[in-house]
Amino acid sequence: MKNFYITLVFIATSFAGAVAQQDAQYTQYMYNTQVVNPAYAGSRGVFSIAALYRSQWIGLDGAPTTQTLNINSPVSKRLGIGMSIVNNEIGNGTNQNTYFSLDYAYTIPTSSTGKLSLGLKAGGHLLDVNLAKLRNYNPGLHASDDIGVDKKFSPNFGAGIYYHTDRFYTGLSVPNFLQTTHFETAEGSNSYQMKESMEYYLISGFVTDINYNLKLKPAVLIKAVSGAPLQVDLSATLLYNEKFSLGAAYRWDAAVSALFGFQINEKMMLGMAYDRETTELGGTQYNDGSLEVFLRFELISHYGRVLTPRFF
């Protein structure tokens, strides 16, 4: 039972698809940059709230779900602040990982349109595991005081750098510098059943005109962590009249995706993505793919309105 417990938590923190990789993955990463890079805070020039919901491997009972909430705003010409919350859940509530942080960014103008931002992220991680929620849990196999982890808190901090112009952006970040360990194999030992290692993120993209009404938006996300294969996400989206977007994405050796976006009005944007795994898991009859929904609201007044389109 203890081995099953450890396996369950490991799966919950590694469902991104590679061994030792624990952060949640996103198909609409180009709209969710703040989660992994604090230097993004305030870069859009307005007060912004963004929420994302992801259901992984629809049809599999107890499959992971992820919810994120990002809030950020500039507070001066050079300073931006924000808050990020990420909740990962697996096993119908058996395991929950909640990450939260405060984000700070300082921006340095480098040209008439270019800006370089340096960011810091400070927060922590709550791990909650309740074995009693397992469908076939047998209390007779466990001591009454050994049925999980009760909201174990682990502090952490991260940093990032983000450069952008009106038509291009790139960023490099490490969201968590501290390597949190769980389930020590033996008292006093330096080996662990599970270890959350540092992950490195490189994100980039640009916008180019095809004609007056149609624009192309390619993007890439590269994620690296010790002990796991390199994860590469590639996407290309067509933006029509700065209102409708339609695109496709490919996660290297993992999944193909379709993306759709709609700028409802000046303040609100809706985004959706559907993934289909290209691995053996994608061919199982109980896996109907993964669905992601994104919604962003921005507080924009006509006085002081940002005239340059915010593509990123």
**Mean of the pLDDT values across residues 51-56?**
95
Tell me: pLDDT of 4 over 50.
no
What is the separation of C-alpha 249 from the centre of its chain, rounded to a whole number of angstroms? 16
**Mean of the pLDDT values across residues 18-40?**
80
Q: What is the pLDDT of residue 1?
A: 41
Q: What is the pLDDT of residue 308?
A: 55
Tell me: pLDDT of 205 over 60.
yes
For residue 14, the one-letter residue type is S
Angle formed at CA 197 by CA 59 and CA 293, multiple of 5 degrees: 35
The Cα 300–Cα 306 span in angstroms is 8
Q: Are strands 214-225 and 199-206 parallel, antiparallel or unpaired?
A: antiparallel
Q: Which range has the top average pLDDT, 23-27, 177-181, 267-271?
A: 267-271
Tell me: pLDDT of 15 over 50.
no
Of 216, 220, 235, 207, give the one whose Cα is nearest residue 310: 207
HSE-up (13 A, CA, CB side) for residue 2: 7
For residue 184, the one-letter residue type is E
Please give the helix or strand (H or E) that residue 272 lies within, else none.
strand 268-277
Do residues 292 and 27 make contact, with C-beta atoms less than 8 angstroms apart? Answer: yes
The Cα 92–Cα 58 span in angstroms is 13
Angle formed at CA 56 by CA 51 and CA 252, multiple of 5 degrees: 100
Q: Tell the residue number behind the tokens 């994302």, with chain if given.
A: 52
Tokens of 179: 């390597």
How long, in residues, is the chain? 312
Give per-residue pLDDT as tens, 123-178.
Answer: 998 888 877 766 655 555 555 555 566 678 889 999 999 999 999 999 999 999 98
Please give the helix or strand (H or E) that residue 184 lies within, else none.
strand 180-184
The Cα 54–Cα 271 span in angstroms is 12
What is the residue-averaged pLDDT of the chain?
83
Q: What is the pLDDT of residue 179?
A: 76
Of 16, 225, 8, 223, give the one whose Cα is nearest residue 127: 8
**Mean of the pLDDT values across residues 172-185?**
76
Angle formed at CA 135 by CA 86 and CA 55, multiple of 5 degrees: 30
Instruction: Say which residue, 295 or 16, is predicted with more confidence.
Output: 295
**Residue 211 neighbours by CB under 8 Å, 6+ apart:** none
Least confident stretch, 3-7, 67-71, 304-308? 3-7
Would you call 283 helix, strand, or coil by DSSP? helix
Provide the strand spans (E) within 110-147: 115-130
Q: What is the pLDDT of residue 304?
A: 46
Q: What is the pLDDT of residue 154?
A: 87
Q: What is the pLDDT of residue 195?
A: 62
**Mean of the pLDDT values across residues 279-293?**
81
Q: What is the pLDDT of residue 128?
A: 81
Tell me: pLDDT of 269 over 70.
yes
